[in-house]
Amino acid sequence: MKSLRCLIAIFAMFFASAMLAPSAQAQSRCTGKFVNPITDVCWSCLFPLSIGGLSIWPSTRPDTNNPSLPICACGSPIPRIGIAAGFWEPVRLADVSVKPWCFVNLGGMKIAPGFDIGQGQFTGPSQVGGQAQNTSKWHVHWYVYPLLYWMEILTDFLCFEQASFDIAYMTEVDPLWQDDTLTTIINPEVVIFANPIAKAACAGDCIAATARLPLDVTFWCAGCQGSMYPMNGNISSSIGHVQASRLALSRFAFKMHRQGLAWGTMGSKGMCDKYLMPVLKKQQYRIQMTNPIPTVSGKMGCSPIGASTLPPQTGRSYPVQGEDMGYLVWRKRNCCVL
């Protein structure tokens, strides 16, 4: 009788494991595809193209302020005269996923080092303090991706970032990305903006980013997505995969600037060289989805940081196959063409 019970228990465990294994495997499986530079890139996001304050290739997409004079000068002791150009350049590619070591834009490969580190999560509604709340934890992979330079669209154009493809950053190995307390090392000002008044200001940033450009004065806000603090992937209020992943990416961009790993390129200060920008100017960037479904057209094809995700991103995240996000990051470049 005892042996019969043991046999029944073994069969029950075997049956349960057989039923649960596909689900567990589906939850941990990394999905994605390689980015096709022809069909998966919103090429209209290059524009507007300006010379000084004049838009020579206009666009319906909002643009940052450009230097008013078409002539510029760089170099010392004898400055060289050039033309002040302004354009948008695709320079970085980013994976954003709750699954550690998931390289979405590299075809959905999962390259694990063999040890347990950096586990992410996406939790459904729970009651916290009497209020329903969703939480999530995301990881970001940051690729050097100077697409215009590779494709040689304009040869010998020194304003393009000239670099090769590289995986520049992985948050799984960054302890500051894992823990809110450690993150205060790079964002100690978080205590100033942890109040209802500062959070209410983000509503105005949400409207501005959706209508045109985000408000750089409210640097602690990521518009409709939430707060820029803490500068990590721990999202306390997740509405959905698109909103939460864009917020994680916006925070990561801020973190890169704060650590001196990303620089300012827009405005008069960027005409001759890049400059330190420890406080992120959100207007410098546009974000375009590449995975699971690329946004390659429309006004919100490459929307600013903090813009609403409701009009352009509806239906672009779906269960199992469409839960890992990939983005192409466009950066405004003002440059003195010598």
For residue range 244-273, list pLDDT tens digits in order.
999 999 999 999 999 999 999 999 999 999
Q: How far apart are CA 272 and CA 274, in angstroms?
A: 7
Q: For position 9, what pLDDT does the model report?
A: 44
Confidence of residue 237 (pLDDT cuts 50, 70, 90): confident
Yes or no: say if 247 and 122 are a contact pair by the CB < 8 Å rule. Answer: no
Q: How far apart are CA 328 and CA 40, in angstroms?
A: 10
Based on the number of CB atoms within 10 Å of its own CB, is 89 exposed (0-12), middle (13-18) or buried (19 or more)? buried
Confidence of residue 122 (pLDDT cuts 50, 70, 90): low
For residue range 276-330, list pLDDT tens digits in order.
999 999 999 999 999 999 999 888 889 999 999 887 666 788 887 889 999 999 9
Portion of the chain with pLDDT greater than 70, in percent: 83
Q: For residue 54, what are the contacts with CB-CB under 8 A and spacing of at least 6?
A: 70
**Mean pLDDT, all residues of the chain:** 85
Q: For position 117, what pLDDT does the model report?
A: 64
Q: Is the pTM of this model over 0.75?
A: yes
For residue range 43-97, list pLDDT tens digits in order.
999 999 999 999 999 999 999 999 999 999 998 888 889 999 999 999 999 999 9
Which uninterrupted H or E stretch holds 256?
A: helix 241-258
Boundaries of every domain in the chain: 1-337
